[in-house]
Amino acid sequence: MKSFSALANPVFEQVIADYHRHDNVDFPVSNPYTPGQIEHLLYLKNWIDTVQWHFEDIIREPDIDPEEALLLKRRIDLSNQERTDMVEYIDSYFLDKYKDVAVKPTARINTESPAWAIDRLSILALKIYHMKQETLRTDVSEEHLQTCQSKLAVLLEQQVDLSTAIDELLADIASGDKYMKVYKQMKMYNDPNLNPRLYAKK
């Protein structure tokens, strides 16, 4: 049976390749997977991460118009919220998947939920893609190429380690050796009832 990471990593690579065919933050997502499949959620998750990656690149342009930067900052805020929501959707998938598991009395909780670990795996796929692009440049020094190649090797090693950790976590949850406990993010700065800078204006 294929491990979860062996399913997830190729989906992330597919998303990044799909996005870079157009390389446009406004290009609409076209998810090839069926709603309800975990692949469908993973595709949407990484699409959000990929678009946000490029938002972050754009907003750092030195000559960006301040009004454009403000509008982009609002889009980044919205994207961050969508990212958080998608993590919670993925955790809901796992909560349902493992709802009938008999949790052992000795079961332990993990430092993070499966979906937040998957969030890091998704972003790691983006780091790997873009660092690899740096190693292919022809307009930079040999020192730059070697530095990026070294960084790429570390990122690839990290991907193996994180993939293994996620697969082991899910196996432990499936066997009842660990249990899931999901906390909603409850971000306060987006909530007009919790951000004092917003509710003071009412």
Tell me what pLDDT residue 194 has: 66
Residues in the chain: 202
C-beta separation of 117 from 5 below 8 A? no
Task: Provide the number of structural domains found in the chain.
Answer: 1
Summarize pLDDT for 165-181 with one digit per residue, the tens. 999 999 999 999 999 98
C-beta separation of 55 from 76 below 8 A? yes
- Two structure tokens written together for 64: 């960006």
- Two structure tokens written together for 80: 């961050």
- Total-model pTM: 0.91
Tell me what pLDDT residue 140 has: 97
Tell me what pLDDT residue 182 has: 80
Summarize pLDDT for 86-140 with one digit per residue, the tens. 999 999 999 999 999 999 999 999 999 999 999 999 999 999 999 999 999 999 9
Query: Could you give the 3-state DSSP secondary structure of residue 179?
Result: strand
Residue 23 DSSP symbol: -
Query: HSE on the CB side for 24, CA within 13 Å?
Result: 6
pLDDT (average), residues 75-91: 95
Q: Please provide the average confidence, as pLDDT, over all residues in the chain.
A: 94
Percent of the chain with pLDDT over 90: 87
Residue 31's pLDDT band (cuts 50, 70, 90): very high
pLDDT (average), residues 141-163: 98
| Residue 27: domain span | 4-199
Percent of the chain with pLDDT over 70: 94
